[in-house]
Amino acid sequence: MKTLFLAAAALALAPFAAATSVNVTFSEDFAEKLVDDYGEREGERLTKEVIDDVTKQFEKQGLNVARGDVTILDAKPNRPTLQQQIDTPGLDGFRSRSLGGMSLEGTAFDANGNEIGSKTYKYFENDIRNVIAASTWSDARRASDRFARRFAKDLAS
């Protein structure tokens, strides 16, 4: 009973941040790459990664952001996607590797729809030696995480 009371008191004292809605879209060029080359499934994976990273960082900073709009401008995988392996049967999904990364831009809005900040970020690996144990979207995930951290930090200051 005492634990329940303390938990309720802690919740009452904790600052409440409004739930953030994060919308992810793709640039026209990247959407075309998804359809023609990487596979649409990969867009869903990247979208989920960006939403999770941005939401987590906004909450961590205690930001009162009603909506965040993020556009994936470009992304490159470190390993062949499933669609690429299907389209090119000789492609080795384990030994084939390349320089990956992602370019994003985002805008945050308050509850009244006013823009409260924006951020553009790009990270593409430049050394193939760093791709040894990488998964399909390792560098893109790194870019998403760094983008979210820097976006939230900029909004907090």
Q: What is the pLDDT of residues 13-59, one digit of tens each?
A: 344 445 689 999 999 999 999 999 999 999 999 999 999 999 999 99
Q: Give the rounded percent of residues in the chain with a pLDDT score beyond 70.
A: 87
Closest listed residue to residue 59, CA positions, set 22, 24, 23, 19: 19
- How far is the CA of 137 from the CAs of 45, 56, 67, 101, in angstroms? 9, 19, 26, 8
Q: For 120-135, what is the mean pLDDT?
A: 88
Confidence of residue 1 (pLDDT cuts 50, 70, 90): very low
Amino acid 133: pLDDT: 65
For range 123-137, the mean pLDDT: 87
| CB distance 88 to 37 below 8 Å | no
What average pLDDT does this structure show over 89-107? 92
Residue (of 87, 52, 86) closest to 70 by Cα position: 52
CB 39 within 8 A of CB 13: no
The alpha-helical segments, DSSP class H, found in 14-98 are: 28-33, 40-61, 82-87
Average pLDDT over residues 78-97: 91
What pTM value is reported for the model?
0.85
